[in-house]
Amino acid sequence: MDFIFDKFTEWIKSLLVSGIMDNLSGLFDNVNTKVADIGTQVGSTPQAWNGNIYNMIKTLSDNVILPIAGVILAIVMTLELIQLITDRNNMHDVDTWMFFKWIFKTACAVLIVSHTWDIVMGVFDVAQTVISRASGVILSNTNIDIASHFSDLETRLNAMGVGELLGLWLQSFVVGVSMWALSICIFIIAYGRMIEIYLVTSVAPIPMSTMVNREWGQMGQNYLRSLFALGFQGFLIMICVAIYAVLVRNMVVDTNVSAAIWSCMGYTVLLCFTLFKTGSLAKSVFNAH
């Protein structure tokens, strides 16, 4: 009976060791791929990221939003003229200079609205230039590979008991599912930022049509702040990846396999948390509310 039990135990151990090795070999593959892809995603301008979406948004902005912006501009500048006149002692003290001032402001407003798309894309071109320069000083190796830190991993596993192996297999399975979820989070952050950029730029002519007015101009100023926040959020994301790369490169993996797995997962969770915070941090830097 002892012989049968020993054979059964060896068979269970071989299954568990094989399962653990399979789990660990591809444990961080999805996360490594998504992290490596972040630089490409955040370093692309809206036009370079997806030309078809860019053309669709630009067409909608020019054909649907721009006429509405023209109406808003007419209303705003009419109110501006009325305010200029009434502010001068109910038309008893009217100077011709105020009309030239109004004409100049109106011309500037029309120029801004007619070149809104160029202004908006210029913001992201500036941000993309900064991100491209930053990527040159960031460590490129962001891969986590547990197996590379344990040359005798399979030997260690074979020396463990069934209970230890079963616990380690469950841990590697849970961490594997968590890594899959974290890779989705990284995907959502990178792609969600670009979709947000397209959504914000699609309505650009409306807030930009209020730029020259004293009372309504706050809308346009806040809009520009939000554009800079979105653009330079990519720069903050690159800094997060750079910090993550340094941590991964210099990490000290515990001799305990279980502790090493959770340590590596901790780095990934930290990366996801900081990536989520970059949006609100960028808005606070540019005071975009």
pLDDT in tens, 118-144: 888 888 888 888 887 777 666 555 666
Cα separations (Å) of 71 from 75, 79, 140? 6, 12, 50
Residue 163: which residues within 8 A CB-CB, separation 6 or more? none
Q: Quick one: pLDDT at residue 198?
A: 92
pLDDT of 54 above 80: yes
Residue with tokens 């909608």: 60
Which residue type is seen at 240? C
pLDDT, one tens digit per residue, over 262-286 is: 777 777 788 788 888 888 888 887 7
Contact 113, 220 (CB under 8 A): no
pLDDT digit string, tens, across residues 88-122: 655 556 566 777 777 888 888 888 888 888 888 88
In 86-215 the beta strands, taken as DSSP E runs, fall at none
Is residue 230 pLDDT above 80, yes or no? yes
CA 28 – CA 26 distance, rounded (Å) = 6
Q: Whole-model pTM above 0.85?
A: no
